[in-house]
Amino acid sequence: MRRLPEVFENNRAWVRARNAQDPTYFERQLKAQHPRYLWIGCADSRVSPTTIAGLEAGDMLIHRNMGNLVSTTDANSLSVIKYAVDVLQVEHIIVCGHERCAAVRAALGPSVWPPMEQWLAPLRAVNRDHHKELDRCEDYDERWTRLAELNVAAQVATIGLLPTLIFAWQRGQKVSLHGWLYELGTGLLRDLGVSRSGPDAKVLGD
Ligand SMILES: [Zn+2]
């Protein structure tokens, strides 16, 4: 079996550089984590959260999957959100999609292989719910990006309805939700304007 020596060499070089810059860094890492942010992003190799946000290890709890989805039947994402809110008490939950996302493209096309097709169900639902708007897009690339944006907004809405968030807001905990899109061609993050710091009026019964 190949042992990927270059990765271990990189790791040792990183440890040397880190210790030279900050001799107590690893000692502090042992104690606890106090991230302010939970990042829910796509697994895409080009969208590395701490790198594009200019943050360090320990600053952000990170959950990634194909298409930055939060499904109410997915124990993985629900567990991360509950841990982030109830235990770590993060102040911000960010759902970040990106341009040219393979999961979004798959949801625009015919059925794919299992279990991917099952995983993509929430994305296909967003596609169906907004098909009139998406049909007005001028070309495929515009449709691809717009579905990525709509998907982020849908995931933010889903998170806002989770019992974890509803209970946190009821007890007065300060936690905000945000939806962003990462532009691969420029490296810039774009705020999609779907932030919220409390439950939907519908949840409150107004
Ligand atoms: Zn993606």
Q: Is 34 labeled as catalytic in the residue annotation?
A: no
Are residues 77 and 172 both part of a single domain? yes
Angle between helices 140-160 and 121-129 (to 10 degrees): 110
- The enclosing domain of 82 has a CATH number of 3.40.1050.10
Task: Identify the helix (H) or strand (E) that includes residue 37.
Answer: strand 37-42
Q: Is 46 labeled as catalytic in the residue annotation?
A: yes
- Per-residue pLDDT tens digits for 30-79: 999 999 999 999 999 999 999 999 999 899 999 999 999 999 999 999 99
- Per-residue pLDDT tens digits for 95-109: 999 999 999 999 999
Among 44, 63, 92, 143, the one annotated catalytic: 44
> Domain span at residue 26?
1-31
Going by pLDDT thresholds of 50, 70 and 90, the confidence category of residue 193 is very high
Dihedral of CA atoms 113, 116, 119, 124 in degrees, nearest 10, equals -60
Domain count along the chain: 2
Are residues 24 and 71 both part of a single domain? no
* Centre of ligand 1 from the C-alpha of residue 51, in Å: 16
* Centre of ligand 1 from the C-alpha of residue 124, in Å: 14
Q: Is 130 labeled as catalytic in the residue annotation?
A: no
Q: Is 3 labeled as catalytic in the residue annotation?
A: no
β-strand partners of 37: 60, 92
* Centre of ligand 1 from the C-alpha of residue 153, in Å: 15
Residue 1 has pLDDT above 70, yes or no: no
